[in-house]
């Protein structure tokens, strides 16, 4: 039997860039760690750092109750765990997947006698084990299971629990990353605009970063409007005004020889909402246009 001061032993399946970073964090914190990887050399490298390398998934799973999985995708999770006995195991799946895949994987684990938490990693490998880097992992699934393992899960990165629904970690993960890609798309367009002129990108970048940072809190207003249902509440820049300004953006792109293909779809949605009568709103009404009607 373990004493309270002993660290929870962890089994980790998957030693890619992220899995290796997770492994090092648990080893550094003194957790007994059993590892498996499809390509064994990666496990052998970690054995030199104190991990117990296993040659088979069933052996790795059998070693500990807490089994963390960090593989490429949901299909590789299926491949990897197919032959393992999960009875009585606590499976924490940190593999990026869709919400539907997470929901199905939770049911799949339950059918095999395992408890299941899904996780979405909001960090890149160099942020793992570095608390000041601000990385964290979103978790969803049974709260008591999360609470039971919270201290161990908090070793590699911060933990943010988003509810009992096992799909919600993946949902939050993909939603946040989708917003990130929208930001990157806007930044790509902005850099393209300055590219043909004598503007130093390294002088432009701080302006861009500060502007995006200043605009980011606008999402709180959007959230309040969505919750309250009044999309005109607190509006400072009406949709009508913003649509009137869109030719300036498209003409500038044209003048600079830049394709409008990143901006144009969003402007088209703004015009549609204006045509529907949303001129006194700001951009929140566009969200409703994105929601497909149930079939």
Please give the residue ranges that form the binding site for ligand FVH (CB under 6 A). 14-19, 37-39, 42, 70-73, 76, 79-80, 95-96, 121, 124-125
Q: Write down the least CB distance from residue 101 to ligand FVH, Å.
A: 11
Q: Write down the least CB distance from residue 136 to ligand FVH, Å.
A: 11
Number of other CB atoms surrounding residue 221 within 10 Å: 16
Q: Write down the least CB distance from residue 83 to ligand FVH, Å.
A: 12
Q: Write down the least CB distance from residue 228 to ligand FVH, Å.
A: 34
Please identify the residue of the shown chain whose CB is closest to the bound ligand FVH: 16
Q: What span, in angstroms and rounded, lies between the C-alpha atoms of 244 and 225? A: 23
| Closest CB to ligand FVH among residues 68, 121 | 121
Do residues 85 and 109 make contact, with C-beta atoms less than 8 angstroms apart?
no
Q: Write down the least CB distance from residue 111 to ligand FVH, Å.
A: 21
Residue 25 CB-density burial (10 A; 0-12 exposed, 13-18 middle, 19+ buried): middle
Do residues 163 and 140 make contact, with C-beta atoms less than 8 angstroms apart?
yes
| Closest CB to ligand FVH among residues 22, 262 | 22
Token duo for residue 140: 């969803």
| Closest CB to ligand FVH among residues 45, 269 | 45
| Closest CB to ligand FVH among residues 61, 283 | 61
Q: What span, in angstroms and rounded, lies between the C-alpha atoms of 26 and 220? A: 36
For residue 60, give Cα distances in angstroms to 13, 53, 292: 8, 8, 44
| Closest CB to ligand FVH among residues 68, 190 | 68
């Amino acid at each position: 039997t373990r004493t309270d001061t002993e660290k929870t032993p962890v089994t980790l399946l998957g030693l890619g860039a992220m899995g290796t970073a997770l492994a090092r964090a648990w080893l550094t914190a003194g957790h007994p760690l059993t590892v498996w990887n499809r390509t064994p050399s990666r496990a052998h490298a970690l054995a030199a750092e104190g991990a117990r390398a296993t040659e088979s998934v069933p052996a790795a799973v059998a070693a500990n109750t807490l089994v963390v999985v960090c593989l490429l995708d949901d299909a590789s999770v299926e491949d990897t765990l197919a032959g393992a006995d999960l009875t009585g195991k606590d499976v924490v799946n940190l593999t990026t997947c869709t919400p539907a895949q997470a929901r199905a994987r939770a049911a799949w684990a339950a059918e095999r006698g395992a408890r299941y938490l899904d996780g979405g990693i909001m960090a890149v490998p160099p942020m793992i084990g570095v608390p000041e880097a601000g990385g964290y992992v979103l978790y969803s699934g049974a709260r008591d299971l999360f609470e039971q393992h919270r201290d161990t899960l908090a070793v590699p990165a911060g933990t943010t629990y988003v509810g009992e629904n096992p799909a919600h970690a993946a949902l939050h993960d993909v939603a946040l990353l989708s917003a990130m890609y929208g930001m990157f798309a806007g930044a790509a367009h902005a850099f393209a605009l300055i590219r043909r002129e004598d503007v130093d990108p390294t002088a432009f970048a701080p302006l861009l970063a500060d502007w995006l940072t200043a605009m980011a809190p606008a999402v709180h207003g959007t959230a309040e409007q969505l919750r309250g249902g009044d999309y005109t509440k607190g509006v400072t820049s009406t949709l009508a005004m913003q649509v009137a300004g869109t030719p300036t953006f498209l003409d500038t792109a044209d003048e600079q020889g830049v394709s409008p293909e990143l901006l144009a779809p969003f402007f088209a949605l703004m015009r549609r909402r204006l045509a529907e009568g949303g001129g006194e709103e700001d951009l929140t009404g566009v969200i409703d246009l994105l929601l497909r009607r149930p079939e």
